[in-house]
Amino acid sequence: MKFPQLPLGQRFEYQGETLVKIGVLTACNERGGNTRLIPRSAVVIPLAEQGGVQPKAAPPASLAPEQVQGALDRFEATWRAMVSELDGPHRERVEETLTSALAELRHALGLASGGHAPQRARAGAQSGLAGAGRQRQ
């Protein structure tokens, strides 16, 4: 089997070493945690799960819009709290990028982008950040 065919979290053997796929081209050594770049062409041997990452149950066929909206709101609150700890231009750039990505995701899912407390609370701050972002470009 080729490395790209493995799902994330799958244990496998490559060049005599047991690894876990953690990214599109990366794997982590099961014992030491060292990360390795694995070529797309690499032939790997999938290993049976032995207490490692277990695949989660399939999500429900459909989710209520309220469930999705709630999950996105919690996700947004989490990253905004983390971003608030960053300094200067990094903070502005990360916040602008994540805000834009979240708006695109909400649009793609057909969810309203306003009407929730986190959205209203940052409306004033957004105008200042948007202006700073345009000046940098």
Cα distance between residue 37 and residue 22, in whole Å: 10
Same domain, 39 and 85: no
Cα distance between residue 110 and residue 6, in whole Å: 32
pLDDT tens, residue by residue, 77-117: 888 888 888 887 778 888 888 888 888 888 888 887 654 43
Same domain, 42 and 9: yes
Same domain, 37 and 75: no
Residue 58, domain member (yes or no): no
Q: Calculate the CA 10 to chain-centre distance.
A: 18
Q: What is the largest CA-CA distance in the chain?
A: 57
Residue 107, domain member (yes or no): yes
Residue 16, domain member (yes or no): yes
Q: Which of 21-25, 93-97, 122-126 has the lowest mean pLDDT?
A: 122-126
| Structural domain boundaries, residue 115 | 65-136
Same domain, 40 and 71: no
| Mean per-residue pLDDT, 16-24 | 88
Residue 52, domain member (yes or no): no
Same domain, 107 and 80: yes
Total number of domains in the chain = 2
Residue 53, domain member (yes or no): no
pTM, rounded to two decimals: 0.40
Residue 56, domain member (yes or no): no
Contact (Cβ atoms closer than 8 angstroms) between residue 21 and residue 8: yes
Same domain, 84 and 132: yes
Residue 78, domain member (yes or no): yes
Same domain, 26 and 89: no
Q: What is the pLDDT of residue 116?
A: 44
Residue 59, domain member (yes or no): no
